[in-house]
Chains A and B, each alone.
Chain A
Amino acid sequence: MTNSILRDAAPVHAGRTSAARRTGVDWMLVVAIAAVAGTFVRAMLFTPVEARQGPAQKIFYVHAPSAWVAFLAFGLVAVAGLLYLWLRDLRLDRIAESSAEVGLAFTTIVLTTGPLWGKPVWGTWWTWDARLTLTLFLWFIYAGYLVLRGAVEDRAQRARYAAVLGALGALLIPFIHLSVYLFRTLHPQPIVMKPSAPSLPGEMLTTLLLAFASFTLLYVALLRARYRLATIRDERDDAVAAEDAG
């Protein structure tokens, strides 16, 4: 995935024309949005309603894949940040920055859809239990990560500070996943990402797996687009700095 992202930035340097640049349309993003829309339609119209929770259970097909993508995104922030500290390659910093922003968008979906599911099922919008509170902390850490990036002028210093914060923030991810086992909580235990087989009927499991796939595709498409933006911005800053120096 990283190679694909880096390769995608190459036309900016080389000035080559690609289909995306000729038409101005990012076809991967279009396909990914269509895939997510298709998943929404399948979940709403062609997936059975769970008898005990009622239609509100269908929030699951948005909530759980968004959480998966958020964890994947922040995991990549940590890996790219640590690799940056080792290799000092600013492309890795741009990957981390891009992944953090996309991950924050998906975490916002988790924190929005969760209360909308909790109210009809638990009888409350929010409770300060371990999983919910840690997820809120995760959102604040990566919101702070983006604020930090905006506050430091020097590119290398910004990349170094951000790499450390990004890696430390990702330490929360395993705690969030395991919090339902470690603490007393209203939040249900995983029904797919667990050691034993998934405990879902076939049609529901198919919809959920399609949701995981389409959300992951959308994450990759958004990451590519956001990485391209960071590359163009850095090149523009370099050109302005060179002009000022000359």
Chain B
Amino acid sequence: MPDNGAYYHAAYVAAGTILIGYALSVWWRLRAARRSPGSGAPGERG
């Protein structure tokens, strides 16, 4: 059996990084949008 475990570990790390990074970017932008004036979500401000 070929010894190529490093490739699959790298692929899982890359996929996890992209998914978590993107989820965090959406969460961060959502948080910023809710806190901005005129967002229509007064309960979320401050």
Contact = CB atoms under 8 A, between A and B. Distances in A.
Given A12-B40, A239-B38, A120 B4 contact: yes
B23 A29 contact: yes
Contacts of B3: 54-55
Given A222-B23, A232-B30, A51 B1 contact: yes
B39 A117 contact: no
Given A109-B14, A109-B19, A232-B34, A54 B2 contact: yes
Contact of A116 (B7, B29, B39, B40): B7
Contacts of B42: 15
Contact of B11 (A105, A117, A236, A240): A117
Interface string B18-46: 11101100110111011011111111100
Interface in A225-242: 225-226, 228-229, 232-233, 235-236, 239-240
A33 B18 CA distance: 12
The dominant DSSP class at the B interface is helix
Contacts of B11: 59, 62-63, 112-113, 116-117
Interface string A52-63: 011111110011
A53 B2 contact: yes
Contacts of B44: 21, 24
A233 B15 CA distance: 28
B24 to A, nearest CB: 10
A112 B15 contact: yes
- By Cβ-Cβ distance, the 10 closest A-B pairs, closest first, are A239-B38, A54-B2, A120-B4, A235-B40, A55-B5, A56-B4, A116-B11, A105-B22, A113-B11, A232-B33
12 contacts: A15-B42, A24-B31, A62-B11, A109-B14, A109-B15, A112-B18, A116-B7, A117-B11, A120-B2, A232-B30, A236-B37, A239-B37
